[in-house]
Every structure is written in structure tokens, then in C-alpha cells.
């Protein structure tokens, strides 16, 4: 403890000029181990320092204190200490040890989440983001933590304060993935689907060498938001990384590289058509969870029988039933997986499967898009009902229900392109609604949201569709155009 007291004295005496702070920084780095060894007893020393003057020393002590275990009784005091520090600390001194500041803020975030009070962390973390940034164009590690708290507290509008910034600098790739993913979710919560789609698009098309879990979850929401906004899922642009393009494309088709002709260069790998959800994807999904980090031994044939205590199955011992290194099973082996819920089947010599089609667990999303494209409400509703558990486990059921609702709207929007006047009964029939009253409710909501322009005659129940009344000469539209021109000029300046 004496060494800590001496260090506190150094902090109090070496925090005035930049040269003194630089020397203090060297002393603090040499004392890190000593501080961590006394982590649980550092709280009293913090009260001897002024965070606005002794920012660097206070930061080192606070980071060491937060690295230890904080009891429930100490949690509230810790939160108050961190909030006071963030609000009054010097941004210049923080830049000398940004990793320490990030560690303190992440501990603060973890504590407010454990206590179930994410709203209390929103304002402090916003201030922390601004003090950590060297400019508003920089994306920091704390951006995603701030957005996560906004999501948990359902304070979606608070997240817009940093989502509206133009980002040109990224510290770590993972920060970009989380920032765009959480940003997409916040925009979904605000029903700004165009912005949400842009954020999720940035996740799916970002450079990557291997597919990551954030990208997979973003792609699920990307499919749903695309259906709500555009009624279809667009193809991947050319700048999409090969890892994402290859693996995410398997959501709609599956390649199995185990065919003999393909391995010997005499043909192409077998491509199977999309499998309906009803055909064993549940069994296969359970197996895939256990196979992701396993690898097949070279030229290891499957056993002629499965020795599982649950079930015995004789398999044909053909050449196509032979596994190859680093490749997924050939078609007969897949058939064995699909036919039986046996986790030990065909696993002799199995160590790692790198390219196994993990996408099968997400076939419900592809089925949903296919049924949506058909425009048949009953089939889409049946698909949602069948896969409700999957959508619920992904926390996407609410978004899926909005997809269902958007099909009604899209069917009504198609009518505006064909008819000038139509009865509510006809709209209900074409849009597959239950009755004219329900059709009237949908039409009124779409008029209110500006999705269609129409009037309803209450006497005869007729709906008249109109052209967009916008003449592009109002003050609001002029301001919008001027803002867009300035924004594009600014972006163009950075690309020159």
C-alpha cells in the first residue's frame, strides 16, 4: 500500500505541464502490476484525486480498480465514480492511454447491464465517445457499446446522435460490424427501414476473410428489411467479399464438393436445389452445431453401419460415400444425415468440417422470401407459423410480422398502378383481406404514412387513387435538395 501512496503523491505533483504528464505516464506504466495487486483497496485513493486535473493518474487507478471484482454494494458507488470521471476528465490526457479509458467504459457498460439499468449509461457513454474521438469522423470501440445500451433501454432516438455522423476512420473491423448491425436495429426500431437497410448492407458487404456471426445475423435482418422496403431481396453487389458472397449465397443453394468427378477435375461440384423447410433441416441444424469445428480425415470411408445405441443403419459402401479432406460430405452421406437424427452417423475419422453448409439453419428466411415473392398471403402465413420458433429464437418474430403486414400494403400499392377507382370490397379481395373494413383500415394507414395518395368516399365505399401531389417547389423540398447537394460535395471532396 505504501507504493500506492507514493504513486498518488506523484500523480498530485506531476499533472500540471505536458512534460510532467509525460513523465507521470512512464511511472504509471511501470506501476500497473502493483496497482492491480491492490485493486480492491484503491477506492479510497480515488477520493484524493481531482479527475479534471489528475486525469491520467485517476484513469490508471480507476482502470485497475474496475479490473477487480466489484460487489453489489460497491456497484452503485463505482457507477457514480465513473460518471463523474467521464464528465470532468481531460480529453487530452485520455488520448495518452485510450485503451485504459476504453476498459473503464466497458466495465461501466457491463455494470449497468448487470443491474438492469441501461438507460443510466447512455449519457455517460455518449460523452465518453466524444472525448475518445479525435474527430467526429472516427469510429471508436465505444460506439457499438453506446448503441447497445440505446437498444436495451429502447432509447432509439438517442442512438441517432452518433449514427448520423459521417464515418471515415475505423479502428478495428469488429467495431464496424457491430456499429452497423446495432445501427440497423435502431433504425428498424424507429421504422426508418431505408436507413436500416443501408446499415445492414454495410455489414453484409464489408471486407472479410471468413464469415462471422455478426454478418450472418445481419443477413437475416437484411432479408426481412429488404422484403418490407422493396418486396424482394437484391443480389449481392460486385464489391461484396468472396467469403460473404460464397457462404451467404449458400442460403439459397447448397454446394457439396464431395463428388468424385469434381475432385478429379472432370466435372463441377454437385449443386442441389433449395430444400424446403419441412425436409429435415431441423435434424441437420442440430448436427451442424456440433460439426462446425470438426474436420474429416483424408479418404476415410464411412462405416458400413452406424454403431449408435439409438439406432443401427446399414449404408452403401460406394466410392461416392468416401470423404475427402477439408470437404463436406457427398450426397449419399447428406441423405444419411437427413434421414436420421443420429449424431454419431458417418463421423468416423471426423475432426473438422470447414465448409459444411451451416446455412441450412437459416433456410426459413429464404423460404419466407420465396413465399413473399409469390404474393400469396396464406402460404406466407403458413411459412411463418411453421418457423415461428426459429424466428422467435433469433429475436426476429416482430420483424417477420411486419413482413407479413407489408405484403398487404404491397398488394394494395400494385392496385394504384392499374386502377383509378376501386371499391373497398375489391381491394379486400385482391389484397387477400378478410373484409372491406380491414381494407379501409389499411388504406387509411397507408395514406397517413404517405405510401399512397387516395381518398375514400364513405357513401359508396369507393377509393380514388391520385398522383403524388409533390411539385418539388416547397421550402422544405428546396432545403432537402440543398442539404443533399452539400453532402455529396463533401463526400466528393474526400474522394479526390
In a domain, 381, yes or no: no
What pLDDT score does 2 carry?
Answer: 56
Same-domain status, 46 and 180:
yes
Domain boundary residue, one of 317, 333, 356: 356
Same-domain status, 41 and 158:
yes
Same-domain status, 447 and 489:
yes
Same-domain status, 218 and 352:
no
Q: What is the mean pLDDT of the chain?
A: 79
pLDDT of residue 478 exceeding 70: yes
What pLDDT score does 247 carry?
Answer: 84
- The structural domain count of the chain equals 3
Model confidence pLDDT, tens digit, residues 46-103? 999 999 999 999 999 999 999 888 887 888 899 999 999 999 999 999 999 999 999 9
State the burial class of residue 42 (Cβ atoms within 10 Å of its Cβ: 0-12, 13-18, 19+).
Answer: buried
Q: For the chain, how far is it from start to end, CA to CA, in angstroms?
A: 57
What pLDDT score does 474 carry?
Answer: 76
Instruction: Give me the mean pLDDT over the 454-480 stretch.
Output: 84
Same-domain status, 298 and 325:
yes
- Asked if 367 and 403 count as a contact pair (C-beta separation under 8 A), the reply is no
pLDDT of residue 349 exceeding 50: no
Coil/strand/helix, residue 291:
helix
d(CA 432, CA 421): 18
What pLDDT score does 316 carry?
Answer: 39
What pLDDT score does 468 carry?
Answer: 80
In a domain, 377, yes or no: no
Same-domain status, 461 and 482:
yes
Model confidence pLDDT, tens digit, residues 350-381? 333 333 344 444 578 988 999 999 888 889 99
Domain containing residue 491: CATH number: 1.10.10.10
DSSP string, 83-142: HHHHHHS-HHHHTTSHHHHHHHHHHHHHHHHHTT-GGGGHHHHHHHHHHH-SSTTEEPHH
What pLDDT score does 488 carry?
Answer: 80
In a domain, 349, yes or no: yes
What pLDDT score does 261 carry?
Answer: 36
Model confidence pLDDT, tens digit, residues 226-253? 999 999 999 889 999 988 888 886 643 4
What pLDDT score does 265 carry?
Answer: 37
- pLDDT tier, 41 (very low <50, low <70, confident <90, very high otherwise): confident
What pLDDT score does 70 carry?
Answer: 83
pTM score, whole prediction:
0.73
Model confidence pLDDT, tens digit, residues 59-71? 999 999 998 888 8
Model confidence pLDDT, tens digit, residues 387-420? 999 999 999 999 999 999 899 888 898 898 889 9
3-state helix, strand, coil split of the chain in percent (to 5) is: 60, 5, 35
Same-domain status, 245 and 274:
no
pLDDT of residue 345 exceeding 50: no
Beta bridge partners of 295: 352
> Among 287, 439, 305, which Cα is nearest to 360's?
287
Domain range spanning residue 256?
A: 252-356
In a domain, 363, yes or no: no
| Between 98 and 311, residue with greater pLDDT | 98
- pLDDT tier, 1 (very low <50, low <70, confident <90, very high otherwise): low
Model confidence pLDDT, tens digit, residues 103-153? 999 999 999 999 999 999 999 999 999 999 999 999 999 999 999 999 999
Strands 138-139 and 169-170 turn out to be parallel
Model confidence pLDDT, tens digit, residues 177-191? 999 999 999 999 999
pLDDT of residue 339 exceeding 70: no
pLDDT of residue 322 exceeding 60: no
| Between 292 and 482, residue with greater pLDDT | 482
In a domain, 413, yes or no: no
In a domain, 387, yes or no: no
Same-domain status, 83 and 102:
yes
Domain boundary residue, one of 232, 249, 266: 249
What pLDDT score does 421 carry?
Answer: 92
d(CA 451, CA 455): 13
Same-domain status, 204 and 231:
yes
Domain boundary residue, one of 189, 214, 249: 249
Same-domain status, 129 and 27:
yes
Same-domain status, 293 and 236:
no
Amino acid at each position: 500500500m505504501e507504493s500506492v501512496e507514493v504513486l498518488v503523491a506523484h500523480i498530485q505533483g506531476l499533472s500540471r505541464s505536458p512534460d510532467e504528464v509525460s513523465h507521470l505516464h512512464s511511472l504509471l506504466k511501470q506501476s500497473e502490476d502493483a496497482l492491480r495487486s491492490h485493486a480492491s483497496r484503491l477506492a479510497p485513493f480515488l477520493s484524493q484525486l481531482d479527475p479534471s486535473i489528475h486525469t491520467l493518474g485517476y484513469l490508471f487507478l480507476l482502470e485497475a480498480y474496475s479490473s477487480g471484482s466489484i460487489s453489489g454494494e460497491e456497484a452503485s458507488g463505482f457507477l457514480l465514480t465513473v460518471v463523474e470521471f467521464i464528465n470532468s476528465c481531460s480529453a487530452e490526457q485520455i488520448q495518452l492511454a485510450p485503451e485504459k479509458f476504453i476498459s473503464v467504459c466497458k466495465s461501466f457498460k457491463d455494470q449497468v447491464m448487470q443491474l438492469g439499468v441501461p438507460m443510466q449509461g447512455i449519457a455517460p457513454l455518449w460523452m465518453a465517445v466524444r472525448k475518445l474521438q479525435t474527430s467526429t469522423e472516427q469510429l471508436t470501440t465505444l460506439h457499438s457499446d453506446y448503441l447497445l445500451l440505446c437498444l436495451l433501454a429502447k432509447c432509439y432516438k438517442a442512438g441517432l446522435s452518433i449514427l448520423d455522423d459521417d464515418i471515415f476512420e475505423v479502428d478495428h473491423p469488429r467495431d464496424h460490424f457491430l456499429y452497423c448491425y446495432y445501427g440497423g436495429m435502431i433504425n428498424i426500431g424507429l421504422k426508418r427501414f431505408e436507413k436500416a437497410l443501408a446499415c445492414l448492407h454495410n455489414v453484409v458487404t464489408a471486407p472479410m476473410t471468413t464469415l462471422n456471426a455478426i454478418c450472418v445475423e445481419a443477413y437475416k435482418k437484411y432479408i426481412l428489411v429488404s422484403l418490407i422496403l422493396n418486396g424482394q431481396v437484391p443480389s449481392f453487389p460486385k464489391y461484396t467479399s468472396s467469403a460473404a458472397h460464397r457462404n451467404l449465397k449458400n442460403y439459397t443453394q447448397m454446394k457439396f464438393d464431395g463428388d468424385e468427378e469434381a475432385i478429379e477435375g472432370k466435372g463441377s461440384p454437385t449443386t442441389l436445389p433449395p430444400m424446403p423447410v419441412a425436409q429435415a433441416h431441423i435434424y441437420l441444424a442440430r448436427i451442424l452445431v456440433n460439426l462446425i469445428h470438426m474436420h474429416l480425415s483424408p479418404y476415410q470411408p464411412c462405416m458400413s453401419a452406424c454403431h449408435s445405441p439409438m439406432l443401427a443403419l446399414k449404408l452403401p459402401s460406394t466410392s461416392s460415400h468416401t470423404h475427402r479432406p477439408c470437404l463436406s460430405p457427398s450426397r449419399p452421406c447428406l441423405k444419411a444425415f437427413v434421414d436420421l437424427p443420429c449424431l454419431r452417423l458417418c463421423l468416423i475419422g471426423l475432426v473438422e468440417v470447414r465448409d459444411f453448409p451451416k446455412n441450412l439453419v437459416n433456410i426459413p428466411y429464404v423460404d419466407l422470401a420465396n413465399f413473399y415473392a409469390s404474393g400469396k398471403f396464406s402460404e406466407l402465413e403458413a411459412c411463418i407459423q411453421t418457423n415461428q420458433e426459429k424466428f422467435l429464437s433469433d429475436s426476429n418474430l416482430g420483424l417477420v410480422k411486419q413482413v407479413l403486414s407489408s405484403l398487404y400494403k404491397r398488394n394494395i400499392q400494385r392496385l394504384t398502378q392499374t386502377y383509378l377507382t376501386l371499391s373497398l370490397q375489391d381491394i379486400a379481395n385482391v389484397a387477400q383481406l378478410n373484409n372491406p373494413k380491414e381494407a379501409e383500415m389499411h388504406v387509411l394507414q397507408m395514406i397517413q404514412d404517405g405510401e399512397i395518395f387516395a381518398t375514400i368516399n364513405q357513401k359508396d365505399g369507393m377509393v380514388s387513387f391520385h398522383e403524388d401531389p409533390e411539385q418539388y417547389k416547397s421550402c422544405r423540398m428546396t432545403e432537402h435538395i440543398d442539404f443533399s447537394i452539400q453532402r455529396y460535395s463533401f463526400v466528393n471532396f474526400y474522394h479526390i
